[in-house]
Structure 1
């Protein structure tokens, strides 16, 4: 793609004196609008800021590539600002946060191909330091565009010998595409400098690009996996030496990555269906951390889909004054919309049941590859309590997210150990991945769940439920603290539901209002979601990784719909921090609202229930304090642990 064909000289602003990210984006968007590249400046800027709130668009060397996809963009275009002085409010991947060269990309809604081509072309051009150096010193817009279309090349790159060594690189990142392409480019350059032919396969946002052929694989000396998530199709590289690094590592030291592969590869890739995963040689903590990250990334769509169905059902039912569309009496209602709301509510609840199975399955898959997938799913089903449903056991309390963590981890580690240590005759190899490994793993999971996970964590949840009942008629303040704490504890899990049953019973008898209950439902997901948006303003850096920043936006939106499950990924990844702060924030907000005289007797925590609150200002005051506490404390606590090396983010 010719970059000069989708911009104009008037969209290249050199030596601008703009002093903030907001000013830069506003000025460049205005120029795009004046040049007819966008039809609505406000709509386009909304899309740009939505993307900015997901993750950093700043990279090394003071470059930023903000971008927005919008219906206000008829065709791909971009504008550039080269600044007189670097701005320090633009988060960058290297943490320097000093940007002086900004490319604002305008992409049509639905044009994924144009979006990717535009980003990848710019990313690859800006990978070369000499290109960036030249662009920052271009005399005028014409020279600037000429440099973009005719990037410099290293004069000292040695030509490849006819029979040069070759190396395959697989790059991928969980969100965005820039790192995928830039990591590949960095390794290609570093390989060329050593006389090594590097073939890069990018497993990016649009799928696999430049897929290597079987002939290229056979001729290669090995493979480097520069990926944040387990790469696809590792079985193709069976028998090849490999090295596994994060996708950001080549951007810091590509030559060092290649040197590590040449001198100390991690091992030999074994077939996808009968081997340990590429990450097998990592430390146990590293493998578990990657497992949790993978499980969360695959679980998020389940939560979003379930929350959307339940939210739509509540909106439909709310229009007719119905607060609980899941009630069986609406299954055959004369009102077709209420009947639809009933079905959607049950549908969303059903989808939510698969949240823990999906999480545990992909956690185990990340640890053990394919042999861990089915055992992990079964472990997650235990954690979600599906066995109680299938076995018709009334009153069974599932182990919840802690159970999913333990069973998913166990499934992965057990399957991985069995897979690596069981050796069969070559004629019996097919039995290992199809029968022996999954069979033994799920058998061991049964005993682990029935002998430890269910009794310990189910028993803990049951004890908490009994505690609620025992203190159900205590003083108002103590009762508020108890209900708020246990409602916020597991965000829709068994403890939350136990607290809800008692609270609703007390409200039905008009003994105690639902104020602490409804506030504790909405405060944690909104607070944690807000934290992902404000961290860079408080501590001038991100304290959440890419996947959690995306989840944060979802959690924020679902929180206003009274769906707390959007914040569960935060609990799964950092349970001690998240649960503690959720409880403190919910208690703080509830107590303040009650002390100021707020009363809510109806089980309507969502935004449409607010008009039914007595003394709404007091209610909103308490809610605001609780949300602010969770948001700010999450940022500060996580920042403290990151600085002291006890918490890491991707």
Structure 2
């Protein structure tokens, strides 16, 4: 297919007197609209200006390649303006800011016809001085188009010997067109001049092109990430030297980036053990999708947890200075002291932020699977998991599905949206409806029925079972009841099971039937324990068993644990639920049993550090707590170390 098939005579404007970037983009957008390539001129022009704000689209030789990616684009196309006089208000990479040849690329959200590769060919062809000179000398539109079609006939790149050095290159830009391919081209040329094979993986608008293999990665000297968006699959390069830079940098100094990688890399990608994938079936793909979705969701959820926990911690800690231990109770909303009123609402503010933990997790889990079409359905699924529907619908007695619900609904939202997006076929004039209306609408509808008929009933039933189980053992022996309350409190770290156990435990304490010792210990032991594990692993087994992101999360969990906020450990639970939940429950039970056996008693619902002095027999309480924390920390380290040794777990 020729480049002339992606444009037309009506989209080529030679020797125009347009005198500014605004006038040029306005006119070219209008021509694309008149030609039926876009459905909404204003929306597309906004997308183009957004791209202009990210980085330069002006290059050497007076070339500019502005572009916009938008659902208003019906099919890939480009319009051209050759100017009679260079405009001086277009930022270029060579600093000259003089542009006289402009190619405006219109990029659709999805492309099923393969035209996007042609647009990338155009971008890379414009790096050739001979091509640009010919385009500037063309005396007619027909000659101009003939020159464009000639760039497809450029000779293939020379293949270097297999024994030569090689470097992996990952390029990606926000639109996935011009810079993605031009950066790869620049690095390939610089590498060829050095006799180095540059293995360029382009993560563009058409998906991943020229994906590097495991064998190529193993032989490569390192990897250059030239991206303006987060690159996909970075874990593949663990153990390799790397350089990370913007997608525009290779166009300015490609050879300098190669020199930097070879002699002064930014660092070494975190090392990990190679995992052996199952040999057949769809299981590896599904498990990989699930794992990447969970990891993505966790990374976006952590700031929510930290922000909410910080607000709660500030409110409660400051209130404790004034002797207040129940700052969140309604009686402080109209208190005579303005300071206590502010602290009251600051605490409630933190609790409100925490409500968005599961919606953000599920939204970005779905987003990692289905891209933008999965974002809204995932968010709504997470809202169901957090119980937002019970609040807004005015219902009573409903129990949220918690982290398991968020996990299931986020996964299904992503899979359903991705399936619909790939299999629904519409006429080209209706394509814009698919990502904006059809896919999210059908996915949200599916999420409603899945939650209504499966997630809420199943997990609501489980939680009701736990409630009845606690009540049934309310008159049992002291240690048995302590073990039940501690294990269920630690089960989901502030989720519905935890809250069910808390409601019963607080009720028993209010009636002075059974103290809250097991309950308050089980709140703080898991987050402190797993946070400690991320710090001591290298001292215990002489290697890291948590990756860098988990170590950062672990520090947060440790700090929040002293504030009695267990949600800091939820990312570990979501990533490895079987390991984390079982160890948390055992550690909480161990700590509670030891503290109670030694005579510790706590009647007040004050698990945070400022409540510890109010415990009867504090040494026994701290002994039990230390025992539970130590068990969780050591168990996490040794279990993970064992699984890593057997190749069943990797440090990402």
TM-score bucket (shorter structure): 0.5 to 0.7
Distance 1:479 1:294 in 2: 38
Distance 1:615 1:196 in 2: 66
User: Residues 275-301 of structure 1: CA distance to partner in whole angstroms, max 9, x if unpaired?
Assistant: xxxxx9981111111111100000000
1:28 alignment counterpart = none
Does residue 493 in structure 1 map to residue 488 in structure 2?
no
Q: Is the 8 A contact 2:374 2:417 kept in 1?
A: yes
Distance 1:357 1:540 in 2: 38
Q: Name the CA shift for 1:330/1:162 in 2 (closer, same or farther; >3 Å).
A: closer
Mapping of 1:250-649 within 5 angstroms? 252-254=218-220, 283-649=285-651
Q: Name the CA shift for 1:324/1:424 in 2 (closer, same or farther; >3 Å).
A: same
**Secondary structure of the equivalent of 2:588?**
helix
User: Residues 1-40 of structure 1: CA distance to partner in whole angstroms, max 9, x if unpaired?
Assistant: xxxxxxxxxxxxxxxxxxxxxxxxxxxxxxxxxxxxxxxx
Distance 2:212 2:497 in 1: 40
Count of aligned positions: 429
1:19 alignment counterpart = none
Question: 1:212, CA displacement in angstroms?
Answer: 9.2
**Secondary structure of the equivalent of 2:220?**
helix
Q: Is the 8 A contact 1:191 1:255 kept in 2?
A: no
Distance 2:163 2:540 in 1: 42
Q: Is the 8 A contact 1:491 1:565 kept in 2?
A: yes
From 201, 211, 215, give the equivalent of 1:243: 211
Distance 2:212 2:333 in 1: 53
Q: Is the 8 A contact 2:546 2:651 kept in 1?
A: yes
Distance 1:444 1:485 in 2: 34
2:153 alignment counterpart = none
Q: Name the CA shift for 1:197/1:336 in 2 (closer, same or farther; >3 Å).
A: same
Superposition RMSD in Å: 3.4
Distance 2:483 2:619 in 1: 21
Q: Is the 8 A contact 1:250 1:257 kept in 2?
A: no
Distance 2:161 2:549 in 1: 31
User: Residues 102-145 of structure 1: CA distance to partner in whole angstroms, max 9, x if unpaired?
Assistant: xxxxxxxxxxxxxxxxxxxxxxxxxxxxxxxxxxxxxxxxxxxx
Mapping of 1:175-254 within 5 angstroms? 214=178, 217=181, 237-238=205-206, 241-243=209-211, 252-254=218-220
Task: State TM-score, norm by structure 1.
Answer: 0.61
Q: Is the 8 A contact 2:172 2:180 kept in 1?
A: no
Q: Is the 8 A contact 1:223 1:241 kept in 2?
A: no
User: Residues 592-629 of structure 1: CA distance to partner in whole angstroms, max 9, x if unpaired?
Assistant: 00000111111111111111111111111100000000
Q: Name the CA shift for 1:369/1:311 in 2 (closer, same or farther; >3 Å).
A: same
The higher radius of gyration belongs to 2
Task: State TM-score, norm by structure 2.
Answer: 0.61
Q: Name the CA shift for 1:212/1:420 in 2 (closer, same or farther; >3 Å).
A: closer
Q: Is the 8 A contact 2:177 2:204 kept in 1?
A: no
Question: 1:318, CA displacement in angstroms?
Answer: 1.1
Q: Is the 8 A contact 1:217 1:237 kept in 2?
A: no
Question: 1:563, CA displacement in angstroms?
Answer: 0.6
User: Residues 323-342 of structure 1: CA distance to partner in whole angstroms, max 9, x if unpaired?
Assistant: 22111110111111110111
Distance 2:340 2:566 in 1: 24
Q: Name the CA shift for 1:413/1:212 in 2 (closer, same or farther; >3 Å).
A: closer
Question: 1:390, CA displacement in angstroms?
Answer: 1.0
Q: Name the CA shift for 1:200/1:580 in 2 (closer, same or farther; >3 Å).
A: closer
Distance 2:187 2:207 in 1: 10
Question: 1:478, CA displacement in angstroms?
Answer: 0.9
1:46 alignment counterpart = none
Distance 1:356 1:363 in 2: 10
Distance 2:401 2:512 in 1: 32
Which stretches of structure 1, 4 residues or longer, exceed 6 Å deviation after superposition?
Answer: 190-199, 221-224, 255-258
User: Residues 142-166 of structure 1: CA distance to partner in whole angstroms, max 9, x if unpaired?
Assistant: xxxxxxxxxxxxxxxxxxx989xxx
Distance 1:545 1:488 in 2: 24
Distance 1:296 1:380 in 2: 13
Q: Is the 8 A contact 2:168 2:222 kept in 1?
A: no
Distance 2:578 2:167 in 1: 47
Distance 2:163 2:367 in 1: 36
User: Residues 32-78 of structure 1: CA distance to partner in whole angstroms, max 9, x if unpaired?
Assistant: xxxxxxxxxxxxxxxxxxxxxxxxxxxxxxxxxxxxxxxxxxxxxxx
Question: 1:397, CA displacement in angstroms?
Answer: 0.1
Distance 1:354 1:404 in 2: 11
Q: Which runs of 5+ in 1 are unaligned?
A: 1-160, 164-189, 225-233, 259-265, 267-279
Q: Is the 8 A contact 2:172 2:203 kept in 1?
A: no
Question: 1:551, CA displacement in angstroms?
Answer: 0.6
